[in-house]
Amino acid sequence: MRRLESGLLWLVVSLFLSSVPAISQEVRCVLEARGDGEMSGECGSGDTALELRLRRPVTEVDAMWVGALSLPQGDLGVEVAAYQYSDGPSLIMRATAWHELSEYSVSEDQLVLAWDRGSEAPPSELDLRIFARARELLPDEDSWDRNDDRDCENDGSSISLYCALAQATAEVMGRYHHRQPAMQAVRVVIRSEWPERVVNHRLMDFNNDARTTLSDVRRLFTLAEEALVPLVR
């Protein structure tokens, strides 16, 4: 099997385990109303129980609930939102990855959520639109910022790989999502195809590496897109 074909096979398997039967790692949360619009309670997974706090959003217009999961190293910001698939919307828990909710019920006094943390939510057609828009933002060498600092507010006439994807995600989704499936896909491709060009931040380091060419950036989009296509729902 050619390297490209085997690489894509590895990407399809490793990107979204939801397409492969696996041992369930269910997380189930039972939250109670605490006043001031906040719901809080425990999330259990095996012998582990962590506190989750959620409330209705003020500014995150595409989320139904926003809050934090208490971890030993600090709070992890989370959101519950609907994500549009071809067969209709699905509720998603957005955390360090995106997971489809297997259970969701809400009343005035209680909110119950469950998801499998071992299975990531599949991509949708929206993710493919993100790649298409990112390509439009990087049409030639003059438009490519070779010195990314992950601050997209100071971009002038050129734009880095990270900022092109961030802008494309914001335009397609209404705002930027760091763990959007399309964003996750390019990170996995870089780790697979160009691991020697990464020190800390995959997108920034790959962009700024002197060996990276615009052809590499275009190949990155193609590989990530081809890995997602079989999983799009």
What pLDDT, in 10s, does the model give residues 81-103?
999 999 999 999 998 889 999 99
Domain assignment of residue 18, yes or no: no
Are both 140 and 103 inside the same structural domain? Answer: no
Last residue of a domain, one of 116, 137, 171: 116
Among candidate residues 125, 81, 77, 72, the one with its CA nearest the CA of residue 99: 81
User: What is the average pLDDT across 24-39?
Assistant: 91
Are both 193 and 103 inside the same structural domain? Answer: no
Domain assignment of residue 155, yes or no: yes
Tell me: pLDDT of 9 over 70: no
Are both 155 and 80 inside the same structural domain? Answer: no
Residue 154: its pLDDT value, please?
Answer: 76
Are both 88 and 130 inside the same structural domain? Answer: no
Q: What is 149-175 written as a DSSP string?
A: -S-GGG--S-B-HHHHHHHHHHHHHSS
User: What is the average pLDDT across 65-73?
Assistant: 92
Residue 25: its pLDDT value, please?
Answer: 87
* Mean pLDDT, all residues of the chain: 88
Are both 174 and 219 inside the same structural domain? Answer: yes
Biggest alpha carbon distance in the chain? 59
Residue 20: its pLDDT value, please?
Answer: 40
Are both 93 and 109 inside the same structural domain? Answer: yes
Domain assignment of residue 184, yes or no: yes
Are both 159 and 69 inside the same structural domain? Answer: no
| 103-162 pLDDT, tens digit each | 999 999 999 999 998 899 999 999 999 999 999 999 999 999 999 999 998 767 899 999
CA distances from 231 to 85, 122, 137, 177 (A): 11, 6, 25, 19
Are both 158 and 103 inside the same structural domain? Answer: no
Are both 219 and 144 inside the same structural domain? Answer: yes
Which pTM value belongs to this model? 0.81
Domain assignment of residue 197, yes or no: yes
CA distances from 115 to 13, 55, 71 (A): 20, 19, 17
Tell me: pLDDT of 18 over 60: no
Are both 194 and 129 inside the same structural domain? Answer: yes
Residue 60: its pLDDT value, please?
Answer: 65
CB 26 within 8 A of CB 45: yes
Grade residue 17 by pLDDT with cuts at 50, 70 and 90: very low
Number of domains in the chain: 2
Are both 149 and 204 inside the same structural domain? Answer: yes
* Beta bridge partner(s), residue 98: 94
**SS3 label, residue 16:** coil
Share of the chain above pLDDT 70, in %: 89
Residue 66: its pLDDT value, please?
Answer: 95
Residue 4: its pLDDT value, please?
Answer: 41
Are both 102 and 143 inside the same structural domain? Answer: no
CB 169 within 8 A of CB 176: yes
Tell me: pLDDT of 173 over 60: yes
Domain assignment of residue 51, yes or no: yes
Grade residue 3 by pLDDT with cuts at 50, 70 and 90: very low
Last residue of a domain, one of 96, 116, 136: 116
Q: What is 95-138 written as a DSSP string?
A: SSSEEEEEEEEE-SSEEEEEEETTSPPPP-HHHHHHHHHHHHH-
Residue 138: its pLDDT value, please?
Answer: 97
Give the C-alpha separation, 66 to 8, whole Å: 35
Grade residue 23 by pLDDT with cuts at 50, 70 and 90: low
Last residue of a domain, one of 116, 142, 167: 116
**SS3 label, residue 42:** strand
Grade residue 47 by pLDDT with cuts at 50, 70 and 90: confident
Domain assignment of residue 85, yes or no: yes
Domain that holds residue 61: 25-116
Domain assignment of residue 68, yes or no: yes
Domain assignment of residue 20, yes or no: no
